[in-house]
């Protein structure tokens, strides 16, 4: 009768074989999960690396049918072998119901825990690293079983056509969110510098930013009455440093044209400078006059809720540089120029007419790290993005408007008020009944 050590010695090769089979089962299960869990951002980064593992990963992702057939054949063969050898080790030459039950439970538990759940959980968490380890040997295995893959393709293709399916292919197009993540990737293989990332990110966000967020508000618009003379328009444009001035009848809600100073050289100044805008438009403008050939062009009106991407397309289509924004009641809410939209993408454009007097959008106080000096025109959306405050953007468009809403009245300079989250807002400056500068103090929990 064999001793215990002899029995263990006889079973040892079988146990080692079962362990290897279980390891291979984990290899195939984890490889499938890891490769399928890769984001398009990670795939694009791997595509740029050109290593053997990276090449294998990209090849599998671009040919998912090859991946699935390889995994299917490998996993099926390994799991079948594991089940057979485990059943043989437990049941032996004399089967019984108890032995069959024990074998079934043992196989199920081992395959579930070590062949499926554990490797797949790890593969999801470390998809890229796991893929780099397993992709190359998996590719070699797929080459070795090429004849079997050809046979399986021959069987599955008619079945796919029978049930109305098409060829399995990888979706090549990135979603906006995929591309945002790719642009934001700081990995050197992403190929983007920080300033390039910011520009691309701003372009992608144009569709989610309404034109009223970047407009010059009605109260700050430089506009003139049609009773003004052409010389008055010229003087104002030269003094303030603008190239276009809206003109209106009676009130600013009745904008009737846009004065373009760059078109002035084409006109006889001696004849027109003393004319009022109304007389000029009556004499030189008619329905047949080309918009590009007149000194005062028809205004382009658009809703203030139009996003910046659509507005830029419309301005390009209309061949104009300025849009007059209308609120929901049809009144003028402000204006936006092409320059305003471009500044939202690449940052402020300073030309020879700009006066550097505007406060920066956000300034961290040097004396207190919890204090921030904010322009009243900073949008609530930008404030939330910068500080992750979660302020309701439906409450107001700008920081100044939000603070005004909190007070419920025109506050005095130096007055303070806190919102429901304990964020304190102090009025630092008021201009024409508008809060132009705000000092924001974050509570300790927000000060990071």
pLDDT of residue 54: 86
Tokens of 101: 């039950």
Q: Is the pLDDT of residue 346 over 50?
A: yes
Q: Is the pLDDT of residue 268 over 50?
A: yes
Compare 44 and 411 and report the one with higher pLDDT.
Answer: 411
Q: Out of 71-80, 101-110, 280-289, pick the least confident.
A: 280-289
Average pLDDT, stretch 324-334? 91
Q: For residue 135, is pLDDT > 80?
A: yes
Give the total residue count for the chain. 448
Q: Is the pLDDT of residue 304 over 80?
A: yes
pLDDT tops 80 at residue 409:
yes
What are 146-163's pLDDT values in tens digits? 888 788 777 777 776 676
Only one residue has tokens 């909190």, namely 406
- Determine how many CB atoms are found less than 10 A away from the CB of residue 307: 15
Q: What is the pLDDT of residue 182?
A: 61
pLDDT for the residue 147: 84
Between these two residues, 206 and 416, which has the higher pLDDT value?
416
Query: What local confidence, expressed as pLDDT, does residue 352 receive?
Result: 39
Q: Which residue, among 388, 406, 409, has the nearest Cα to 396 in the 3D structure?
A: 406
Mean pLDDT of 204-224: 86
Give the CB-side neighbour count of residue 177, counting CA atoms within 13 A: 1
Tell me which of 191-200, 210-219, 314-323 is least confident: 191-200
The β-bridge relationship of strands 301-303 and 322-326 is: parallel
For the stretch 186-196, pLDDT in tens is 555 455 566 66
Checking if the pLDDT of 359 tops 50, the result is: no
How does pLDDT run across 233-262, given as a tens digit for each residue? 999 988 888 889 999 998 899 999 999 988
List the beta bridge partners of residue 244.
260
Top pLDDT among 179 and 346 is at: 346
Instruction: Look at residue 356 in the predicted model and tell me its pLDDT.
Output: 43
Assess whether pLDDT exceeds 50 at residue 80.
yes
The pLDDT value recorded for residue 353 is 39
Does residue 290 surpass a pLDDT of 80? no
Q: Is the pLDDT of residue 18 over 50?
A: yes
Confidence at 72, pLDDT banded by 50, 70, 90 = confident
Domains of the chain (ranges, CATH numbers) = 4-162 (no CATH), 176-208 (no CATH), 211-346 (3.10.580.10), 362-441 (3.30.465.10)
**pLDDT mean over 18-24:** 89
Tell which wins on pLDDT, 151 or 417.
417
> Is 428 exposed, middle or buried, given 0-12, 13-18 or 19+ CB atoms closer than 10 A?
middle
Q: Which residues of 377-415 are buried (b: 16+ CB within 10 A; e: fewer)?
A: bbbbbbbeeebeeebeeeebbbbbbbbbebeeeebeeee
Is residue 395 over pLDDT 70?
Answer: yes
> What pLDDT is recorded for position 351?
47
Q: What is the pLDDT of residue 170?
A: 44
pLDDT tens digits for range 107-129: 889 888 988 899 999 998 898 88
How many Å is the Cα radius of gyration of the chain?
Answer: 35
pTM of the model: 0.52
Residue with the bigger pLDDT between 207 and 11: it is 207
pLDDT at residue 227, rounded to an integer: 92
Higher pLDDT, 179 or 296: 296
Rounded Cα gap, residues 55 and 336, in angstroms: 48
Poorest-pLDDT segment among 194-208, 244-258, 332-346, 403-417 = 194-208
User: CB 180: neighbour CB atoms within 10 A?
Assistant: 17
Task: Assess contact for 305 and 397: CB atoms under 8 A.
Answer: no
What is the average pLDDT score of the chain? 81
Sign of torsion over alpha carbons 62, 65, 70, 72: positive
Looking at residue 88, its pLDDT comes to 80
- State the pLDDT at residue 382: 81
Write the Ramachandran bin of 433: left for phi over 0, alpha for psi from -120 to 50, otherwise beta. left
How much of the chain exceeds pLDDT 70, in percent?
81
């Amino acid at each position: 009768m064999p001793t215990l050590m002899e029995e263990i010695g006889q079973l040892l090769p079988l146990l080692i074989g079962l362990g290897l089979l279980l390891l291979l089962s984990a290899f195939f299960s984890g490889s499938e999960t890891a490769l399928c869990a890769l984001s398009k951002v990670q795939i694009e980064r791997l595509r740029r690396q050109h290593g053997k593992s990276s090449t294998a990963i990209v090849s599998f992702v671009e040919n998912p049918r090859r991946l699935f057939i390889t995994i299917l054949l490998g996993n099926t063969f390994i799991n079948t072998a594991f089940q057979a050898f485990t059943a043989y080790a437990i049941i032996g030459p004399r089967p019984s119901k108890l032995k069959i039950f024990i074998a079934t439970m043992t196989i199920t538990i081992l395959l579930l825990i070590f062949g499926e759940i554990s490797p797949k959980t790890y593969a999801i968490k470390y998809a890229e690293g796991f893929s780099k380890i397993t992709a190359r040997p998996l590719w070699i295995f797929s080459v070795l079983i090429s004849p079997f893959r050809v046979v399986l393709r021959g069987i599955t293709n008619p079945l796919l056509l029978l049930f109305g399916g098409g060829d399995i292919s990888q979706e090549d197009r990135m979603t906006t969110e995929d591309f945002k993540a790719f642009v934001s990737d700081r990995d050197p293989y992403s190929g983007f510098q920080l300033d390039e990332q910011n520009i691309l990110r701003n372009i992608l966000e144009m569709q989610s930013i309404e034109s009223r967020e970047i407009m010059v508000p009605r109260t700050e618009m430089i506009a003139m009455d049609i009773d003004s003379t052409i010389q008055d328009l010229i003087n104002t444009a030269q003094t303030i440093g603008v190239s276009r001035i809206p003109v209106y009848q009676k009130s600013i809600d009745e904008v009737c044209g846009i004065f373009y100073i760059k078109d002035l050289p084409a006109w006889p100044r001696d004849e027109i400078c003393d004319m009022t805008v109304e007389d000029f438009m009556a004499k030189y403008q008619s329905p047949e006059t080309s918009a590009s050939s007149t000194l005062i062009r028809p205004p382009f009106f658009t809703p203030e809720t139009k996003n910046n991407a659509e507005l830029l397309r419309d301005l390009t289509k209309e061949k104009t540089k300025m849009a007059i924004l209308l609120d929901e009641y049809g009144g003028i809410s402000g204006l936006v120029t092409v320059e305003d939209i471009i500044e939202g993408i690449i940052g402020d454009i300073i030309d020879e007419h700009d006066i550097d007097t505007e406060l920066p959008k956000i300034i961290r106080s040097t004396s207190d790290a919890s204090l921030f000096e904010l322009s009243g025109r900073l949008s609530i959306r930008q404030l939330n993005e910068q500080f992750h405050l979660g302020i309701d953007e439906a409450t107001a468009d700008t920081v100044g408007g939000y603070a005004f809403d909190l007070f419920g009245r025109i506050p005095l300079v130096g007055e303070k008020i806190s919102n429901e989250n304990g964020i304190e807002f102090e009025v630092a400056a008021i201009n024409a009944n508008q809060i132009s500068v705000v000092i924001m103090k974050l509570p300790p929990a927000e000060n990071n």
